[in-house]
Amino acid sequence: MPIRVNLDRVLLERRMSLTELADRVGVTIANLSILKTGKARAVRFSTLAALCRELDCLPGDLLDYEPGPADDMPDLDGEA
């Protein structure tokens, strides 16, 4: 995925824990972990807005773009 999430860096700069951010934003810790580890496929504007509001930052502080191949979704046959 060419989009990189810098949530852990911003959290460190703000000295805020993932649990606290999850409480403030109203997103589960599990979902925030998915976002932090770069496994998320998409971010809702509402979530991004809430993250920017609580972390006092811009979307560009949270997201980076690195040119590279877009990884497709894993084949569902493997899971079935």
Residue 35 or 55 having the CB closest to other proteins:
35
Task: State residue 46 phi and psi, 5-degree precision.
Answer: -65, -40
Least distance (Å) between residue 32 CB and other proteins: 7
Residue 67 or 74 having the CB closest to other proteins:
74
CB of 54 within 8 A of CB of 25?
A: yes
45-74 residues near other proteins, rule: CB under 8 A:
47, 73
Residue 52: Cβ-neighbour burial (10 angstroms; 0-12, 13-18, 19+):
middle
Strand partners, 64: 4
Residue bearing tokens 């590279």:
68
Q: Which of 3, 18, 34, 52 binds other proteins (CB under 8 A)?
A: 34
Using CB under 8 A, list all residues that contact other proteins.
27, 31-32, 34-35, 39-44, 47, 73, 76-77, 79-80
